[in-house]
Chains A and B, each alone.
Chain A
Amino acid sequence: MDTGDTAFMLIATAMVMVMTPALALFYGGLVRRKNVLATTMQSFVCLGIIPIIWVVYGYSLAFGPDVGHFIGNFDHVFLKGIGLEPGPYSATIPSLLFCAFQLMFAIITPALITGAFAERMKFTAFLAFTVLWSTFVYLPVCHWVWGQGGWLGAMGALDFAGGTVIHINSGAAALVAALVLGKRKGYGRDSMHPHNLPMTVLGAGLLWFGWFGFNAGSALGAGPIAVLALFTTQVATAAGALAWGIAEWKVQGKPTTLGVASGALAGLVAITPGAGFVSPVSAIIMGGVAGVICYLAVLVKSKMGYDDSLDVVGVHGVGGIWGALATGIFASTAVNPAGNGLLSGNAHQVVVQAVGAGTTIAYSVVVTFIILKVIDVVIGLRVSSDDETQGLDLTQHSEVGYDL
């Protein structure tokens, strides 16, 4: 066991934890004031739900001994056998710390999806969705990529910090959720502009900060690859923020604060799978392209007519797919011996990345659809039309965000 690695991973784990309340701020600012608490709650309460699932069976299904290359078994339920010694996933840090680090990823992923159904889902339906989705979508996909014996990892897919498991996966689920729930009442007629953008920008800043733990921590040790991941994260995000701002400046005549903050997020999403595999210059290209294509994806959304309220598909889905493919393009053994991409002569890597992304999308779309349909029949997904008009804060939680 290495105390330096352990110290670093303790801090990285705490930094990834901060990303979920940061997401609550980011999303909370984007909705109308009558829904600020309900939206915040949907992220924040994941910090309560997922750790319990993780201890009882989540970690075991994701990282337990492999069953059919698809999922882990029940050997580690209630964290049986996960102790303070290094384990198969972590040669230099305690198994329990690896388990804690992975838990933070499992928390934020369902929280990301909430942006797609913001302002209209029943809290009870949301709770059921979060438990079922984490169990039947997150845990298997996590095992495919990172679990020992998982088929995507075995195929050689490069996913440094969870671009496929977290962003493509949540982006695909978000698209289904937006379609199944339908548009918010008054969509396209009433003004639904953000009620508190300073809160959103604060959230974006905290996400950026936490992402250093997310990406650099995915090196699982305080070594050179962690440094590379931290650096590529910073410059890809910078390029994403600038690119989105410049793109909307050209298209709409003004650069917006929300645009620059969204571009930063697009850059963060895109660099996630490649953070430890690409050079800083490649990272700038990955982030910059992400800023532009995610902006275009958000513009296209308004034409397509589905109501992905807070653009989870445009930012996490599209940014995630681009990041996965770009990792297959830019990965280089010059910075990390793990693998080469297209530009280093390994065109096959792009195919592997595309298969990983495509399979994850297909699986996530189908299972998310089934989960939502079941919940719709048993509980009902949407609040009543009256409750939606009145706002979810009052009708779901009997409180209001602002008493000014």
Chain B
Amino acid sequence: MKKIEAIIKPFKLDDVKDALNAIGIKGMTISEVKGYGRQKGHTEIYRGAEYVVDFIPKIKIEIVVGAEQVGQVVETIRNAANSGTIGDGKIFVMPVERIVRVRTGEEDHDAI
């Protein structure tokens, strides 16, 4: 079992969600986050005063899948989220020890 965390550009969320639905991913959690990497921030101007905004809005998607699906999911996200420009984001994969479905108590693969 693996957790995939992808940081993407907000406007790519619908493309990524549709692409993941198309390969049978049935659930995900998203959050609005802020951050910066090589893209850096941007400058805003208010009445002549310049403000450098370091942190820019991104979307974080979290998905948990079986180990055998990881390659396909990562590839799908990468294709859908790619705009070819700096700041497209990153994908992290990490191990998951245990999963419990709250309603039924099912565990691990049955609970995905």
Interface residues of A (CB under 8 A from B): 191, 193-194, 248, 251-252, 254, 256, 258-259, 262, 295, 298-299, 302, 311
Contact = CB atoms under 8 A, between A and B. Distances in A.
B47 A298 contact: yes
Contacts of A259: 47
Interface in B32-81: 44-49, 51, 53
Given A191-B53, A252-B45, A258-B46, 18 more contacts: A191-B51, A193-B44, A193-B46, A193-B51, A194-B46, A248-B45, A252-B48, A256-B45, A256-B46, A256-B47, A258-B47, A259-B47, A262-B47, A295-B48, A298-B48, A299-B48, A302-B48, A311-B47
Contact of B45 (A254, A262, A295): A254
Contacts of A302: 48-49
Interface size for chain B: under 10, 10 to 19, 20 to 34, or 35 or more residues? under 10
A258 B44 CA distance: 12
Contacts of B53: 191
A254 B51 CA distance: 14
A298 B47 CA distance: 7
6 contacts: A191-B51, A193-B44, A252-B45, A258-B46, A258-B47, A295-B48
Most buried by A among B45, B48, B49: B48
Nearest to B49: A302
A251 B46 contact: no
Contacts of B44: 193
A248 B46 contact: no
B48 to A, nearest CB: 5
A258 B47 CA distance: 7
Nearest to A296: B48
Contacts of B46: 193-194, 256, 258
Contacts of B47: 256, 258-259, 262, 298, 311
A273 B51 CA distance: 36
Contacts of A251: 48
A300 to B, nearest CB: 9
A295 B46 CA distance: 11
A248 B46 CA distance: 10
A73 to B, nearest CB: 44
A254 B50 CA distance: 12
A302 B47 CA distance: 10
A311 B46 CA distance: 11
A262 B53 CA distance: 23
Contacts of A311: 47
